[in-house]
Chains A and B, each alone.
Chain A
Amino acid sequence: MTVQVQQEEWARPSAQALREMVDVGRGRISPRIFWDEAIYRLELERIFARCWIFVAHESQIPNPGDFLTTTIGEDGVIVSRANDGQVKVLLNACPHRGNRVCFAEAGNARRFTCNYHGWAFGRDGAFLGMPAEEIYEKTCPDFDKSELGLIQARVAGYKGLLFATFDPEAPTLDEFLGDYRWYLDVLLDNDEGGTEFLTGNIKSWIDCNWKVPAENFVGDSLHAQWTHNSGAVAMLGMGVGKAKQDSVYQANVNGHGMQFGFDMVGNAMTLGEPEVVQYIREREAIMAERLGKLRSRMVGAMGSATLFPNFSFLAGLNTVRTWNPRGPHRTELHTWVLVNKNAPDSIKEKYRKGVMRTFSPSGTLEMDDGENWEAATRTAAGVVARRQKLHYSLGLHSQVEHEELPGNVHQRKFNDSNQRAFYGRWLDLLCAETWSNLPEGR
C-alpha cells in the first residue's frame, strides 16, 4: 500500500526565518537549528520523509524472508527480502491500531504478524489475513484486503547499498546521488567482488542533534588532530598525521560530501592493523585499473564522508554509520563494518576488530567525539548562545576546477566548504514544498 503525501497543519518556520538562520554565503549558522522542535519536525517531514535514506546493505538480507528493522527519520521500517528476491521497505506500523508489527531487529520470517490482534502480512508487505476475518467481511461495508497491506517505500540500490524513500515525487536514487557516485565507488567498487557488511550492528545513543555528527563527517578535518590526539597516540603511537593542506580536497554534490587526500592508507593505518595497510597497498594496481590512478590513492586515505542526510563513512577505516534522529537532541548511532567480499577472512577480522577499537562507543577515537557533540547541541538552549552565529567560513573562496574530480571541488584540508554545502542542501529542502521547487546545482 502507498499513501498520498499530505502536509500536516502546524506552524512551520518560514523560509525567510530559516534563511536568516543559515547564511551559507557568509558561512554563519544559528545554533537554533540544533535545538528547536519546530525545525526538527520540519526536518522529519521535508528531509527524512522525502530523501533517499540508507536502510541496509544487500548482504544483510541475502535470502527470501531475511529482514532487518531500522528507521527512516522516526518512522520504523522493516527491510524485507520477499519471495521473488525483491527488497521491500515496509512501514513497521500495523494499519489496524498502529502497533509495531516486527519487534526483532533482524532475522528471517515467513510473515509479520501483529502481536495486538493477529493481523498478518507477507514478506512483501501484502495483507495475508486476520482472526475473525468473516466478521470483518460481514460487518465492514468497505472491507478490502488489498488496501490493508503495510505502507511501502520506494526502494533502490547502489552497488550494495539499499536506500528507500516514502516520497513518490522524489527523483530517482541515481539523480539524488548524482556525481557523488564517483566518490562512493572509492568505498564500494575498488574490488570486482563488491562489498558486504560484517555481521552485527552496534547501536548507541548520543544526546546531540543528528546534524552535528553528520556535518562532522562531511568535512570537518580540522577537528581530527585536536579532538583525536589521544586516540591517535593510542593507535599509531603519535598524534594525527599532518597532511599538506593543498594536497587535500573537499568535494560535494547535492549536499553529499567527502574530504580526502591521496595518501592511500592514512585512514587505514588508524585501525592499528598493519596487515590491512598491506592489503590495500598490495592491491594498488588492481584498484587503479578499476578506479583510475587518482581514485586508487583515495581508497584508504585520510578523510571522511557523509551522504546527505545521515549516512557517513570513513574509506579505508571502513566504518559505515547512520545518525538516526530521536528528537532534536538525541541521535541513535548505528555502526557497521564494511569489507570487500573477496577480502581474505583474516583481513575481514582485522577490520571488525579495528573498527571496534577506533570508531565504536568503546573506540579510542569516537569516545572523544560524543561529548563535544552533546555539548555543542546543549548550549543552544541558552538565549544568548542562540543569538550567536556560529563560524563556518573557513575556505570561503577555495573552490577550484579539477580535471578529474567531479562536483563542487574545494582545495585545502582545513575547510568548511562541505559543511556549508551540507547546510545549503538542508536549507533548500526545508524551504522547498516540492522537489520541483529545489534550486539546481548545489
Chain B
Amino acid sequence: MSQAQAQNPADAIRDPRPPQFPPLPDRDLVFEVEQFLYREARLLDQERYEEWLGLMTEDIHYWMPGVQARFRNDTSSGPLIERMAFYDDDLLNLRRRVTRFMHATAWAEDPPTRACHIINNVEVELTDNAREYRVYSTFVNCRGRNEAEETWIAGRRTDLLRRDDAGALRLARREIHITQAVLLAKNLNVFL
C-alpha cells in the first residue's frame, strides 16, 4: 500500500462523536471501590501478604500478560491468554509466591524491597451480575532496593470485584497491562 492510497485519518475525525460511556454508578459505590483499591495497595506496600490473600475470591484469576511490540496490522498484536505471561495465577499459585516472599531465605527480599503503589484513574462500571463490578484503574509502582536501586513500572488494570455473602468486596479477576515490552528490571518481586 503506498502512502497516497492510505486512508486519511482526517476524514474520520471531521465529525467526531462523543463516546458512549455506561451510566455512572452511585457515588458511594465508587468511594467504596476506591478505598478497597487504596487499602489493598497499602497492604502490599506493608508486606501484609496474608491479609492481601484474604482479599481474593477462591476463583481469583490474577493475570499479567507478556507484552510484545508487534505491528498494528498483526492480528495477534494484543495480549493473548495462551502467550507467556508474568502472572497467570490462581489462588494456589498466589499462595506459593507469597510463601517465598515470607520465607527467611528469600535473600532478594532482605533487606526488604521498599514498594510504593500509586493507584489512580479509578472508574467503576456495573455489570450484569448485581454483585460484581468492573473496575478500571492505573498505577505507578516504585520499588527501592538496597541503597540506590530504583525501578518504576506503570500500567493499567481491569479488575472484577465481587461482593461476598458478608457484603465485603473481594478481588475475583485482575488484568494488568504494563507499558514495558522488555521489563526494565532484574525481577518482578511485587504484585501490581
Chain A residues packing against B (C-beta within 8 Å): 103-109, 198-208, 227, 229-231, 233-235, 272, 332, 335-337, 349, 352-353, 355-357, 360-362, 364, 366-368, 370-374
- Report the Cα distance A364→B107, complex, angstroms: 11
Which residue of the partner chain A has the closest CB to B189? A367
- In the complex, the answer to whether B108 meets A356 with C-beta atoms within 8 Å is no
- Report the Cα distance A201→B108, complex, angstroms: 24
Interface size class of B (residues with CB under 8 A): 35 or more
**Residues from 97 to 118 in B contacting A, C-beta threshold 8 Å:** 97, 99-100, 103-108
Given contacts A202-B86, A367-B100, contact A361 B186 (CB under 8 A): yes
- In the complex, the answer to whether A335 meets B86 with C-beta atoms within 8 Å is no
Which residue of the partner chain B has the closest CB to A348? B82
Contacts of A204 in B (CB 8 A): 182-187
Contacts of B87 in A (CB 8 A): 356, 362
Whether B70 sits at the interface, judged by CB under 8 Å, is yes
Which residue of the partner chain A has the closest CB to B103? A230
- Report the Cα distance A272→B74, complex, angstroms: 34
- In the complex, the answer to whether A230 meets B105 with C-beta atoms within 8 Å is yes
Contacts of A234 in B (CB 8 A): 96-97, 99-100, 103
The residue from A202, A206, A227, A235 contacting B84, defined by CB atoms under 8 A apart: A202
Whether B88 sits at the interface, judged by CB under 8 Å, is yes
**Residues from 49 to 75 in B contacting A, C-beta threshold 8 Å:** 64, 66, 68-71, 74
The residue from A104, A199, A335, A366 contacting B80, defined by CB atoms under 8 A apart: A199
Taking the closest CB of chain A, its distance from the CB of B98, in whole angstroms, is: 8
- In the complex, the answer to whether B74 meets A200 with C-beta atoms within 8 Å is no
Contacts of A203 in B (CB 8 A): 181-183
- In the complex, the answer to whether A357 meets B187 with C-beta atoms within 8 Å is no
Which residue of the partner chain B has the closest CB to A357? B93
- In the complex, the answer to whether B100 meets A230 with C-beta atoms within 8 Å is yes
- In the complex, the answer to whether B100 meets A233 with C-beta atoms within 8 Å is yes
Contacts of B68 in A (CB 8 A): 105-106, 200-201
The residue from B70, B100, B186 contacting A231, defined by CB atoms under 8 A apart: B100
Taking the closest CB of chain A, its distance from the CB of B131, in whole angstroms, is: 29
Q: 5 closest A-B pairs (Cβ-Cβ)? A: A200-B84, A370-B186, A200-B83, A234-B100, A230-B106
Given contacts A105-B69, A234-B99, contact A371 B84 (CB under 8 A): no
Given contacts A108-B74, A229-B105, contact A200 B85 (CB under 8 A): yes
- In the complex, the answer to whether B189 meets A201 with C-beta atoms within 8 Å is no
Whether B168 sits at the interface, judged by CB under 8 Å, is no
Taking the closest CB of chain B, its distance from the CB of A133, in whole angstroms, is: 14
Contacts of B183 in A (CB 8 A): 202-205, 361
Contacts of A361 in B (CB 8 A): 86, 183, 185-188
- Report the Cα distance A421→B84, complex, angstroms: 33
- In the complex, the answer to whether A371 meets B108 with C-beta atoms within 8 Å is yes
- In the complex, the answer to whether A107 meets B74 with C-beta atoms within 8 Å is yes
